[in-house]
Structure 1
Amino acid sequence: MSELKELGLGIIGFGGFGLFAAQHFLQSPHLKLVGIAGSQRDEATRAANRFGATHFDTIDELLAQSDLDIVYIATPPFLHYEQSMQALRAGKHVICEKPLAMNAEQGREMVAFAESRGLLMITNLMQRYNPMFERIKTLIDKQILGEFLHGYFENYAGDEGLGPQHWFWNRELSGGIFIEHGVHFFDLFAGWLGEGTVEAAQVSKRPGTDLEDQVQATVRYGDSLVNFYHGFTQVGRMDRQEMRLLFERGDVTLFEWVPTRAIIRGLVDEAGTRALMDLFPGAVLDISANYGGKDRSARGRHKAFEAAQQVEIRYGFDHQKMHLYGELLRLMIRDQTSYLFYPETHRKITEQNGLISLQTAEEADRRAHR
């Protein structure tokens, strides 16, 4: 087997997250940092030196490097379209921070252009690489707790680092909360339930200002509804996220915006308890009630079923959130670079995921501002 080519990585935008991502990307085999551009921060030059790379004055200089294969874009959303198209026209693969673009029209153009040139145009929706994502998908698909009925995602986000002049609050620069932030979670539920349709959406402004700090949307997936709430209103130390998925015979609560912890409650027979413990290995199982004889019979949604136990399972409470976040970045870059070496490889994230999540976010934003 011939030696795999070393791939050159360039980074546009090298703020705190750009550096965080770079440290994880560069643990991937066959990947080297060629250079960075699009950042005037002194820290960017120091970081480039650390990796033995060049800090270019302009993006054009970076894109002109013959050993550059992949460009990672970690700039604010209003720059994603222009910089991605610039890299694609230079023949480079692109991995872009969310959202793909400011609107779906731009996104469709980017994806179509990349496809016509045989190039990647990936949005970094790394949630799909979380083992928790697969565990919840299995729970839904195998109906271990019965059919999925309803879901919610609640994002009580801190705004301490987002001063009044920060680009985040400027819809011309960020696209608004649904587009800048919500795409991660629209994509998460689409991965579990299929593509959704926005039924309703609302937005709230901070009193006495034009600053939009709370949004919510209801999205239909098949016969089920999911509610999404994002509020950038908290002291940083109060920042938290929680989502709950309701089933016919139980529910799952997930904690953190990259879910690291789960509490599963259910009414199950012996096979159901075994299936849950197989799906969440190493979890703590508590028995809230045991049932025997005629008490095993239960009904819900006009269906009869048998229950041996009422259980509560706690999983993942020893996981380090930032360590998991780094692992998801490593998995994402390995998945995409493997595809470049072996095009028959199945990718967990494709160009369509970034586009579909953006389309959902744009529709939610449109409905909120009708």
Structure 2
Amino acid sequence: MTNTDATDVREIGIGVIGMGGFGLFAVQQFLQVPHTRLVAIAGSKREEAIAVAKRFGAEQLGSLEELVNHPEVDLIYIATPPFLHYEQSMLALNAGKHVICEKPLAMNSEQGEEMLALAKQKGLLMVTNLMQRYNPMFARVKHLIDKNLLGEFLHGYFENYAGDEGLAPEHWFWDREKSGGIFIEHGVHFFDMFAGWLGEGKVVASQILKRPDSDDIEDQVQATVEYGDEATGKKLVNFYHGFTQTGRMDRQEMRLLFERGDITLYEWVPTRMVMRCVVDEETTRALMDLFPGAQLNVTANIGGKDRMLRGRHKTFEAYQQIELKFGFGDEKQHIYSELLRLMFRDQTMSIHHPDTHRIVTEQNGLTSLETAVVADRMARE
């Protein structure tokens, strides 16, 4: 690293493995974080890689070995298919480079544990890009749950109706030896999200469906994860992923049910929310503080003796039944961009200041992978 100013904040040189469409999108955001520079790209002759190299004046190297041993590269960003993550990350770590890797961390828990152990031994980052936790919506839902603003959380689901137009039958996504299957390649984001809200979960049921007339295309998966315990009350969350839709119908939805209402979140990185609930005056104020600028629609006024409501053998008071809409004016691509900048800033800050608290740590990547591995294994037993 080289000094860049009098405050001794050092420039971080980035090397990239896997400069495809998302790699380009991510690197454009990383380089907006101060004191970072794209040094080199390796292992890709794709049009995107050539364009990025020209735009940022980066070197295009012929081998991964050249990249990880480049003296000006401090951090390797890996955006390749999952089956390459272990080998490429270990190569970078052994060369003394920090690593940020796209999900999943690895193809199995044993690989993930080995990667994290080596990173810890060398004092290096080995972080999975679980960008969901940097979403302000994530923090708002976490506050809603922790403060019991709608009563206790009871149940949830995530449903991913994903498009498969860009996934030809020969695409690596369908090859379990390269992707790990849908739970591992894709599900880790959402297992991690709910773990952030509810704590560590346990997979209690799981299924995988193959496409009719196909021996090897698994296009639908479903898992049920249990959170909490007997003391705090157990909660079930269902996770469904189906790669079955035309691109125009690609959509995601998750719902969280509480004692006095529910919220529905939209998009794979949730940017929009609809809440339906019964509230007293104090709760309405707390919700409007939590979701500033939300549109509040009054479904019904509740007065007199009707203000005392019952549910789950509990009595509570309410003065209105309302609907809140939040985030519908936001541009989702701009939010995705900001989450990548926040993630990269958070991680590189810990390179400058190792004791800095990070929102996402190495353990998040491993824990989400372990949940996905259990779901995948249980579906096959």
Tell me if TM exceeds 0.5.
yes
Q: Say which is worse superposed, 315-324 or 36-45, in terms of deviation.
A: 36-45
User: What are the equivalent positions in structure 2 for 1:137-176 lying under 5 Å apart?
Assistant: 137-176=142-181
- Give the SS at the match of 1:164: coil
1:342 corresponding residue in structure 2: 353
- Give the SS at the match of 2:305: helix
Give the drift of 1:3.
2.5
**TM-score (normalizing by structure 1):** 0.99
2: CA distance, partners of 1:272 / 1:164: 51
Q: 1:267-305 CA distances to partner (integer Å, 9 max, x unpaired)? A: 110001111111000000011111122111011111111
Give unmatched runs, 5+ long, in structure 2.
1-5, 229-233
1: CA distance, partners of 2:357 / 2:299: 42
> What residue identity is the alignment partner of 1:158?
G
User: What are the equivalent positions in structure 2 for 1:1-370 lying under 5 Å apart?
Assistant: 2-210=7-215, 211-222=217-228, 223-370=234-381
Q: 1:335-357 CA distances to partner (integer Å, 9 max, x unpaired)? A: 00111112221100000000000
2:3 corresponding residue in structure 1: none
Q: Say which is worse superposed, 85-94 or 338-347, in terms of deviation.
A: 338-347
- Give the SS at the match of 1:24: helix
1: CA distance, partners of 2:257 / 2:146: 14
1: CA distance, partners of 2:300 / 2:315: 19
Give the drift of 1:40.
2.2
- Give the SS at the match of 2:151: coil
2: CA distance, partners of 1:47 / 1:336: 22
2: CA distance, partners of 1:344 / 1:352: 16
Q: 1:161-197 CA distances to partner (integer Å, 9 max, x unpaired)? A: 0000000000000000000000000000000000100
**TM-score (normalizing by structure 2):** 0.96
2: CA distance, partners of 1:94 / 1:133: 25
2: CA distance, partners of 1:291 / 1:189: 33
Give the drift of 1:320.
1.0
- Give the SS at the match of 2:273: strand
Aligned Cα root-mean-square deviation (Å): 0.8
> What residue identity is the alignment partner of 2:334?
H
Give unmatched runs, 5+ long, in structure 1.
none
Give the drift of 1:109.
0.6
Q: Say which is worse superposed, 77-86 or 319-328, in terms of deviation.
A: 319-328
2: CA distance, partners of 1:40 / 1:213: 30
1: CA distance, partners of 2:314 / 2:321: 18
Give the drift of 1:49.
1.6
Give the drift of 1:50.
1.1
> What residue identity is the alignment partner of 2:59?
T
Between the two proteins, the alignment pairs up a number of residues equal to 370
Give the drift of 1:2.
2.5
2: CA distance, partners of 1:16 / 1:290: 50
Report percent identity of matched pairs.
70
2: CA distance, partners of 1:68 / 1:205: 43
- Whether the aligned pair in 1 keeps the contact of 2:131 and 2:340 (CA below 8 Å) is yes
- Give the SS at the match of 2:148: coil
Q: 1:70-125 CA distances to partner (integer Å, 9 max, x unpaired)? A: 00000000000000000000000000000000001100110111011100000000
Give the drift of 1:52.
0.5
- Whether the aligned pair in 1 keeps the contact of 2:21 and 2:48 (CA below 8 Å) is no
> What residue identity is the alignment partner of 1:287?
V
Q: Say which is worse superposed, 125-134 or 288-297, in terms of deviation.
A: 288-297
- Give the SS at the match of 1:215: strand
Give the drift of 1:63.
1.2
Q: 1:49-68 CA distances to partner (integer Å, 9 max, x unpaired)? A: 21011010101111111111
